[in-house]
Structure 1
Amino acid sequence: MKVRPLSASAALLAGALAVSLGAVPGHAIEDGGLSSAVVGTAPPGSVLEQAPAPGALTGLGIAPADATATRVLYASTGARGETTSVSGLVIVPNAPWRGPGERPVVGVSPGTQGLADRCAASRLIESGHLNDATWIRQFHASGYAIAMTDYEGLGTPGDHPFADNVVLGHNVLDVVRAARGLGLSATAPVFLQGFSEGGGATAGALELAPGYAPELRIAGGHATAPTGNLTAIGERSELDLYRPLLLLAVGLLDDGAEASGCAPEGLPRGLTDLEELGPTEPEREPVRVSRSRIDVPFAVTSAWADEIVPHDTVREAVEQWCSRGSRIVYSTSWAPSHVASGYEGGGQAVQFFDDVLRGRVVDSTCAWLF
């Protein structure tokens, strides 16, 4: 496999933020497939196909009697405004909701674990290899319904627009709409949560919701290490095992490089020597977080020792949100790595959502941080 040197690539990583990735061709639920004509007539959030997903409960360690899991194929909005099909997973506890009001829904945006269709979160969860499974179990145990997106191009045919927080934000909001199409209340409070690429997707969804999905009752959000500045990520020297995945993600490898595996075991060999890696032309302008005000309580966490998403880039995004009048609760942690920060931050999300749901005071940190 031929690759090019990385030395000139850092400046191009931002431009490659939304570059499309060639995903391994996938299939709709039950291998049924859908024609583009059928997908093109569906409003965003429409359920196109659905199927029971008992394997997801097994992978999570949840007893079949305790929840109902459904894989969905739903309509969403792509990078050029076109209607696309996206897969996802909806899990609803069978026990009655014991909190205030109606059972809330959490729109989960998973972190990146690979670029092939078999790396889609709804498939990884069945094998017990999904990082986000830890906090999904916590949401279930607390009685929340879960609507998780696989993102465009992961689990379905087509390209995955890595870290394009507009497209991914659409995907997140539309999987919540799809959950309503499966019978969840149209007036239930909605929370959004994500880690890494999922953190960026969560932020994008929160920014887009008032205009794109005004009917959703968004109550709050939580993001850990949200991606928003791949230039800074590309300049890190500590990426080690993660760097090949990043390079694949932003398109710095020749077209012949296949991303058919899921991290870490599926990363191509021979890509840890960076001397022969280098630039490629970006296909689109960068899409960043912190473009507009967020009107609901939004907790953002980052780790000082994060070797993938620099702490400073998260703080910069928070500062921009604060400057626009957003209600941000920002915190840092001493988690020793990027993945560890996800576990720590994801574990805080349930408590934060519970506080918002029960009307406990959630003070913004903007006034004393910036």
Structure 2
Amino acid sequence: MSTPNTAQTSTALPTTTSHSPRRRIQALSAAAIAGLALTLCTTTAPAQAADIVPQTESEAEQFLDDRAAEDPSTLDRDSVPEDISVEQAKKAVESSDELTTADVEYAAAQEDLPASGVPEDFYETPDSLPSEDGAVLKQADSEFYLDPVKLIKHDAKSTTFMYKTTDEQGTARAATATLLTPNGASGHAEDAVVISPGTQGIADKCAPSRQMGMGTEYEGISVASALAAKHPVVVVDYMGLGTEGTHHYVNRVEEGRSVLDAARAVQQVDGSEIDEETQLQLRGYSQGGHATTAALELQKEWAPELNVVSASAGAVPTDLYKTVSDLSSVYTAFALYGVAGFADQTGVDTSDFLNEEGQKVVEETSNQCTIEALLSTAFTDAKTLTKNGESFQEIVDANFTDVAEKQRLGKAEVPDIPLLVNHSRLDDVISFDQGKELASTWCRAGHKVAFEDNLGPTHIGGYVAALPRVETFTSRTFAGKAPLDSCWRL
């Protein structure tokens, strides 16, 4: 669950585009990384890629101010996704604090950009899988661009790898992830960051390993932030994103296992400097916060050998029932992802509760990545998509209470390590009380918890505002220093 951006005028756009239509690229004006919103500079120097990450709270505030100042009147046919009208896009931007013109331009660019540098057949599951979870199946060199115009290529070495994991039903699955190693790193990695991404969509094309090579991965801001601090980074795709099988959106077990098995597998990747002694931090925001928390709850049973020394979980949807119930019509796409996932996991046919239009919308959004899905369904009343005019909350009540409850977080034991919970008081997707309650739960269990609330406007604003504090927490915990304990005030 996530999105961002602001735009500047580029002075160095390519004059030829043999690999994608110029109309979309030119419409971007500057490289727009959407999802969590990141303004990119126009320089082509990779060494300056880290400079785009907000390093202080004042920089984060300026970033959000710039984002809020974007003008939707600049949108035209060339800068809007093909299946969305210009009027629809303008209305979504004008009526929402979450979506901006750069987000719309990003979604348009995503339609026309080529696949990542990883060969398409790389994502095909081998005929047989080993018994060991976390076993590496194959790997391929990949690329990490920070913008869809491909002006800024990060100088980190990028390797995408496939590994074996197991889904909630006990079925062997292949999943993918990407290892990024900072330029100049050599020898044993003392520490590394494992990033669980926010909502990408549920289509294979939305997998982070694919999008990083296209310059359209919004988690690029978090990846660049960790690389700037010289930490190797592992970015997880999750089961069913990019690879064979269904991606069950915010499934606690499958997300957690994807994260833990990626952390195991990266130790076997050729060229990896991460081994069993490397200190690991698990990090994620929104759906990524859900996956990070799930991994913490599963680690003792699933991967006790991993040297996890800290974790950062932001805007965690601990209670999916409450999250779906509280979503406004701006975020109908998130509810559709959730309901479709619940239906698949329980064997319920969506035609049992969705009307013809509802089934059509589910089919469309299942093939769209986050921004386009949000735009195409913005302000859609869920009651117009159901057979009897029920709300999605009523649909969940009638069909999916059990599966939603199985995804609840905060009830299981987690490792005794420093924990950071960050959440904006102004979050408009996941209620602030869910983050505060998670922090309080961990405090009551005797953990040292740093609870960093902020006033970043909207769900995205909370992410950007938290970044400087996340890196401070990371540096301190990797150095063996205890973070400030917030339990006294929760």
TM-score normalised by structure 2 residue count: 0.64
> Which letter maps to 1:206?
L
Aligned ranges for residues 139-154 of structure 1 at < 5 Å?
Answer: 139-154=226-241
Give, in whole Å, the separation in 2 of the partners of 1:74 and 1:212. 15
Paired residue for 1:70, among 159, 177, 200?
Answer: 159
> Which letter maps to 1:313?
Q
Aligned ranges for residues 21-60 of structure 1 at < 5 Å?
Answer: 30-32=120-122, 38-39=128-129, 41-56=130-145
Aligned ranges for residues 184-263 of structure 1 at < 5 Å?
Answer: 184-236=274-326, 239-251=328-340, 255-256=359-360, 257-258=362-363, 259-263=366-370
Give, in whole Å, the separation in 2 of the partners of 1:232 and 1:200. 14
Q: Is it true that 1:316 corresponds to 2:316 in the alignment?
A: no
- By how many angstroms is 1:235 displaced? 2.7
Larger RCO of the pair (alpha carbons < 8 Å, separation 6+): 1
Q: Quickly say closer, same or farther: Cα 1:181–1:355, change in 2 above 3 A.
A: same
- By how many angstroms is 1:34 displaced? 5.0
- By how many angstroms is 1:63 displaced? 5.0
Give, in whole Å, the separation in 2 of the partners of 1:360 and 1:240. 43
Paired residue for 1:119, among 202, 206, 224?
Answer: 206
- By how many angstroms is 1:72 displaced? 1.1
Residue 372 (structure 2) aligns with: 265
Q: Quickly say closer, same or farther: Cα 1:231–1:86, change in 2 above 3 A.
A: same
Give, in whole Å, the separation in 2 of the partners of 1:307 and 1:31. 39
Q: Count the aligned residue pairs.
A: 338
Q: Quickly say closer, same or farther: Cα 1:355–1:62, change in 2 above 3 A.
A: farther
TM-score normalised by structure 1 residue count: 0.83
Structure 1: unaligned runs, 5 residues or longer: 1-27
Give, in whole Å, the separation in 2 of the partners of 1:262 and 1:130. 10
Residue-by-residue CA offset, 1:69-90 (whole Å, 9 max, x unaligned) = 0111111121112221111111
> Which letter maps to 1:171?
S
Q: Is it true that 1:107 corresponds to 2:194 in the alignment?
A: yes
Q: Quickly say closer, same or farther: Cα 1:74–1:62, change in 2 above 3 A.
A: farther
SS at match of 1:105: strand
- By how many angstroms is 1:50 displaced? 0.8
Give, in whole Å, the separation in 1 of the partners of 2:215 and 2:125. 32
Residue-by-residue CA offset, 1:292-341 (whole Å, 9 max, x unaligned) = 23311110011111010000112122222222222221121101010121
Q: Quickly say closer, same or farther: Cα 1:179–1:270, change in 2 above 3 A.
A: closer
Q: Quickly say closer, same or farther: Cα 1:35–1:91, change in 2 above 3 A.
A: closer
Paired residues of 2:418 and 2:482 also in contact (CA < 8 A):
no
- By how many angstroms is 1:35 displaced? 5.3
> Which letter maps to 1:129?
T
Paired residues of 1:322 and 1:328 also in contact (CA < 8 A):
yes
Paired residues of 2:178 and 2:209 also in contact (CA < 8 A):
yes
Paired residues of 1:330 and 1:365 also in contact (CA < 8 A):
yes
Residue 307 (structure 1) aligns with: 428
Give, in whole Å, the separation in 2 of the partners of 1:296 and 1:303. 23
Paired residues of 1:115 and 1:249 also in contact (CA < 8 A):
no
SS at match of 1:44: coil
Give, in whole Å, the separation in 1 of the partners of 2:375 and 2:153. 36
Structure 2: unaligned runs, 5 residues or longer: 1-117, 341-349
Q: Quickly say closer, same or farther: Cα 1:344–1:79, change in 2 above 3 A.
A: same
Paired residues of 1:229 and 1:313 also in contact (CA < 8 A):
yes
Give, in whole Å, the separation in 1 of the partners of 2:119 and 2:412. 36
Paired residues of 1:224 and 1:342 also in contact (CA < 8 A):
yes
> Which letter maps to 1:77?
T
- Cα RMSD for the two superposed structures: 2.7
Paired residues of 1:120 and 1:155 also in contact (CA < 8 A):
yes
Give, in whole Å, the separation in 1 of the partners of 2:412 and 2:426. 28
Identity %: 27
> Which letter maps to 1:85?
A
Residue 243 (structure 2) aligns with: 156
Give, in whole Å, the separation in 2 of the partners of 1:157 and 1:309. 30
Q: Quickly say closer, same or farther: Cα 1:96–1:36, change in 2 above 3 A.
A: closer
**Please, which moves more after superposition, 322-331 or 147-156?**
322-331
Paired residues of 1:118 and 1:155 also in contact (CA < 8 A):
yes
> Which letter maps to 1:261?
Q
Q: Quickly say closer, same or farther: Cα 1:148–1:55, change in 2 above 3 A.
A: closer
Give, in whole Å, the separation in 2 of the partners of 1:89 and 1:227. 25
Residue 93 (structure 1) aligns with: 182
